[in-house]
Structure 1
Amino acid sequence: MFNHFLDTRQTNSQDAIDKCSITYLGESFPLALVLEDLREGGRTRLHHPGPPIESPETVQHVDGILNHPPHLLPEDIAFLEAKHVFEYPPPDVYDALIEVFLNTFLPIYSLVHRPEFEDHYRQKKLPWIIVHSCCFIATTFCTDVLIHRAGYATRKDARYAYYSKAKVLFDTNYERNKIVVLQSTLMLTFWGGGPNDYWNTWSWISAAVTIAETLGIHRSTLGANMSPKDRSLLKRLWWMLVVRDASCSTLVGRPFRINMEHGDAEMLTLEDFEVDARILEAADHPLKISFADYQIQVARLSLLLYDIDYARFIPGPKALSMSQVYDRLQAWKNDLPMAVDWDQSSDLLATCLSMMYDHHLMLASLGVSGSEVAAGGSHTNGIQLPFAELAAQRVSTQASAIIMKNQSLMVPHETYQPVFVAGVVSYMSMRSSQTTQSQLGRFVVDNCRMVLHSVRDAWDAAPWIITLFDGLTISVNASRAQEHGEAHTMDMARTPGDLSAFMGDLDESTMGFGMPASWQSNPMFSALFDVSQPMDGFEPGMS
């Protein structure tokens, strides 16, 4: 890589940068520091043409032998052949799966250049890791009818079949094109894995971040000699990764993999979606008006998750207050374009953004008393108190409407996470001594369980969240029975603070992640299971 870089510098080559072959030199890299002649307009040039990529195509030679990359040993190829990774699904099934990828997934996660992808698909030149990653994504978002048509008994079986093929290609380093590997890795972040699995959503995100930063797509490409379509693709890949990192990390309270202070990639604009917009407009796609605005706004909204995490949960002195975070949330909402403003549009993606906005409000205030929130004063402008409970009720209602319209497999996975937080907020209400508040909380929790049950095979977090809510509901029921002296109507072996009997009876296979029965001792959930302190209602400002 560096030999190629030095050769091109010596010949004063000004070749255009191919998105698949980039040599990235960060400012702190010693080579970049000593090459002062790279400075253009007072700014160090970061992206340079890299050596050509030798990437195999999936077309066959005349003699019927597949074209494999030269760096693999014969035994590696034999291993991959035994895994059936060089086989397409049946033609009609493959076409249907790619249709789902193009028209359900791609409008909400624009991670390929669509004309180029479609051309390679028609010519059977898609890299094998992309073939199986796309099929994995399609089986995540498609209908049950297509799952059975593909020959699988369950969605979980179908997803795992394609996921495992993509993963073994990743493990053997079959594909050398970093953009292709990044695209595949981003798709594999939709595989949840289990708590004892090394490869799960967060490890795939970590791998994607490593690849992305190696390519330097976290940095501005304005000064790079790159085609506009390639520049737009790199921006879309980066901001999809930011969205996935922010959402998946806050789901279970893990540190963000991306340090936003180290990057300066430009925010997405409508121009980055021009090609897809023309295609969706010609096809009269239902999301043709909102898909680009949605991806731009969800990227902006994801940055506020970093702010919430910093202001609330990062230890040490803070340069950002929660009051400022609330102001930023409100400013984001006020600046929404009409296509995705849920106060002006009934569009599906506008509803999704509404739920994510409420998720941020709930996360920012969860565990904070109403009096503390109200003490901020100005930051409550435009945000009605008690906003956590109201946000939970809105999310519950909107999620139910999505389920009733059979749209649950058409929405971004980031839409499901607000349902989890809404259930947690409502569980807190359910424990209240105020009857009306408790009953409303129970209704919302039950509604959230129903919604999550409908997506349990597509969103890998759903099974353990459902189980969590089941256990918490049993705990509250037992507590209520003891208070009223009706413990004989319950299982007498179960006390409010002891869910072990309930958890011990769970079939791990129904939980998706294969979690052991002792998972409820996880520190992440310990506060939710701690019912030793009675909850006599919320602070006055939150009631």
Structure 2
Amino acid sequence: MSARRHRSAVACQHCRQRKVRCSYTVTGVPCIGCTQDGTECIIPQGKAQSPRIRQSIPGPRRTEPTTSLRQAEPGRFMPQSPATVDFYSSEPIAPLIERSKSVENLHGDRRVSDEYKNLDEERTGTEIATAALGRNKRTGQAPFYTGESPGFGSVLDLCSPPQQPVPRHILLQPKTTIQLSDEDRDYLQHKGVFDLPQRDTCDELLCAYFHHVHPVMPVVDATTVLNPYPGGESNQCNLLLLWSMFFVATNFISTETWKREGYTSRKGMKYAMYSRAKCMHHNSGETDNIVLLQSALLLGFYHSEMDLHMQPWYWTGMAISLCQMMGLHRCSISAWSNSSVPETQQRLWRRLWWTCFFRDRWLSLTMGRPLRINLNDCDTIMPSSADMLSDPAKLPASVAAVYIPSDLPRLADYWVKTIHLSKLLGDVLTLSYQPFGPYPSLEKVEALETEIKLVRFPDSHGVEQSRLATYYLYHLELHYQALLITFYRPFINKAPEGLSTSHQYAWKSRIQSNIDSAALQTNSILDNLAREKLLEFAGPMTPPLLVPAMHVHLLNCKSSDPLSRRLGLNKLDLCMMILEQMQHTYPSASVFRGVFLGAIRQLFPDYIAQPMPEETVPQHPISDETYLTDPAAGMVISGDVIDAIMNEVPGYNFWESLNWM
């Protein structure tokens, strides 16, 4: 029996031109293809037949956005009624599955329903092929990565000249929006996701986000968020992304703002913002992978003992997986030579990928867990400051003046340098911290040391810059000192392979001196931050940068020389005071301080932490998580953790038992 599949006797003009199977004889006018493409379904005269099944199908899709914010009461904004608006896509709901079910219910013909589904699934494969081969001239929005050889996408290379392989990154038409049930919408309504803060609060949150978060994690397109936002009735924004941004920005708003919103603490407001963003992430039916990726990166800054399975490691892992699904790790120059992806999206994709890389490297250091990203699998080009500056440049001057930092170009340079330091950190962790890897040779250690020492920071002497830019320069230097300590730390006890015995004593002395110098420099930076009153700019990534230096100071507290022990304790005291200042906003600072407090008391049983002067304590109450700051108040530090932090074994694996960043 022949396996040949015969063409349909009747097809509309659109499907006939595209040489795809038409569903006219199954569904009537319009067919599936014309419904999804938003084109008129025209049947050639004289060939129209009565279809086996006729049903009422909505007309072509609209392309204008439908998600909007409206003023519900003076000074307060909330979306339109969830019963009439789809909040999760820029297109109206078109549930093809529901139509298929209605066909089945009307006629009880499962064969017709299966054929209907097969047509749709087959058409998806055809759309991928036509887009990759450049035969589809329609502009898509949904990124799709066909994968590298030997994946199924490499089959298409057979249809293209050897010197011009088909592009791996293509843009498809957006996925059909998932229809939410009334119960799901009621649940989202009950969780408060449709009830935004007051307008003034929203403005302050957005301003805080682009001043304090965007310069170190440029994961959103400023034009997408800010161009439509300040327009009142015409506001359009993705609620999942908005709540995720609000959550991180809450760290930097004034005390009066969260009090005005009815919260008893800053942490309480952060939890409310996070819970709404997480609820939207899991229950909104969002199908835009870029939005899901952006949200996951921002939610990776949440810390709570009540949500241990949703810690930074979880959210960052989800973000990295989404990046690799969309092929953002394979965005080389050659990948764009024959691609339909606009330059604006290319820049955003680079920022997203390298932000995931940045988070992967520093989370691995802080938590003592393996690297998720292997650069041998990646060829995305390194970012430039222009990648961050391209979006704000398109904003109206009046909007940029309110929300965008005036010295963003300088902050963009700092971000690029931070990515470079993250790459070096990955090399350090791969060289010396893999338990089953070969012990590093002297040649490799010296080559990496030379590369690290070549790092140069922007010269700020005699240059007028804002307090925000000054803080971020200090923050960049904190990253560098943490990198130095991490690099030298394994060689305190064991010299690299290939170093002669006669040179080992001098080598170890030099290594110890370099470590102490980096730890002392960390303290000097912290002293500058406190003296210049810049700690108010500290973000959730700041507390972990103190840990390497504090580890060195604690080891010096075990010295046989009494003066060295006292000096080590004094240096450690400064770090403890800085953590105390930050713990009112960041739970990770409380955890780190509690662990080191327990370790110090093991060495100095009579040690009493110096209390913070009342006038320097932030003017907002501490939430119920305060108990983390004092072991006597309920936090129990296991002996294993204390032993690990005081052990001179390289690495920071003791953080694994905490699940905190």
Q: TM-score normalised by the shorter chain: which range applies?
A: 0.7 to 0.9
For residues 282-431 of structure 1, the aligned pairs below 5 Å read: 283=401, 285=405, 287-318=407-438, 321=441, 324-325=444-445, 327-328=447-448, 330-336=450-456, 338=458, 347-366=470-489, 368-369=491-492, 372=495, 386-411=513-538, 413-431=540-558
Q: Distance in 2 between matches of 1:455 and 1:43?
A: 53
- Do the aligned residues in 2 keep the contact of 1:133 with 1:188 (CA within 8 Å)? yes
Of 16, 33, 44, the residue aligned with 2:154 is 33
- Which of 320, 333, 336 does residue 222 from structure 1 map onto? 336
Cα deviation, residue 30, structure 1: 3.4
The amino acid of 1:48's aligned partner reads I
Shift of 1:176: 1.4
| CA drift at 1:434 | 1.1
What is the distance in 2 between the residues matched to 1:321 and 1:373? 5
CA distance in 1, matches of 2:562, 2:477: 29
Query: Kindly, what percent of the aligned residue pairs are identical?
Result: 22
Where does the alignment leave 5 or more consecutive residues of structure 1 unmatched?
55-68, 482-488, 491-506, 532-543
The structural deviation recorded for 1:469 is 1.2
Distance 2:317 2:373 in 1: 9
- Higher CA-based Rg: 2
Deviations 1:197-216 (A, max 9, x none): 21110000011111111111
- CA displacement 1:288-334 (0-9 Å, x = unmatched): 34211111111111112211111111133439647635643543553
Deviation for aligned residue 1:141: 2.9
**Is residue 460–residue 513 contact of structure 1 (8 Å, CA) maintained in 2?**
no
Q: Aligned with 1:175: secondary structure?
A: coil
Counterpart-to-counterpart distance in 1, 2:278 and 2:250: 16
Q: Distance in 2 between matches of 1:14 and 1:279?
A: 29
Aligned to 1:51: 173
1:443 equivalent in alignment to 2:551: no
Rounded to whole Å, the distance in 1 between the matches of 2:436 and 2:594 is 35
Question: What SS is found at the alignment partner of 1:48?
Answer: strand
How far 1:477 sits from its partner (Å)? Answer: 1.0
Give CA-to-partner distance per residue, 1:139-174, whole Å, 9 cap, x none. Answer: 123343433333322121111000000001111143
Other-structure match for 1:63: none
Structure 1 match to 2:8: none
User: For residue 126 of structure 2, what is the aligned residue in structure 1?
Assistant: 6
- The question of 1:520 aligning with 2:647 is answered no
Q: 1:174 to 1:386 in 2, by over 3 A?
A: same
353-362 vs 171-180, which moves further: 171-180
Question: Take 1:140 and 1:426, find their aligned partners in 2: how far apart are those partners?
Answer: 29
Which secondary structure does the structure 1 equivalent of 2:560 belong to?
coil
- Aligned-partner Cα distance in 2 for 1:391–1:342: 25
Check the 8 A contact 1:111/1:236 in 2, yes or no: yes
Indicate how the Cα distance of structure 1 residues 263 and 409 shifts in structure 2: closer, same or farther if over 3 A, else same. Answer: farther
Q: How does 1:140-179 map to 2 (within 5 A)?
A: 140-179=251-290
For residue 215 of structure 2, what is the aligned residue in structure 1?
107
TM-score using structure 1 length: 0.80
CA distance in 2, matches of 1:318, 1:459: 38
2:202 to 94, 112, 116: 94
How far 1:97 moved relative to its partner?
A: 0.9
Which of 188, 195, 213 in structure 2 is aligned with 1:80?
188
Q: How many residues align?
A: 488
CA contact (8 A) 2:204 2:253 kept: no
Contact 2:482 2:548 in 1 (8 A): yes
Q: 2:462 & 2:540 partners in 1: Cα distance?
A: 19
The answer to whether the 8 A contact 1:293-1:339 is kept is no
Tell me, in whole angstroms, the C-alpha distance in 2 between the residues paired with 1:29 and 1:17: 28
In 1, Cα distance between the equivalents of 2:637 and 2:321?
Answer: 30
The change in CA–CA distance for 1:25 and 1:460 in structure 2 (over 3 A counts) is farther
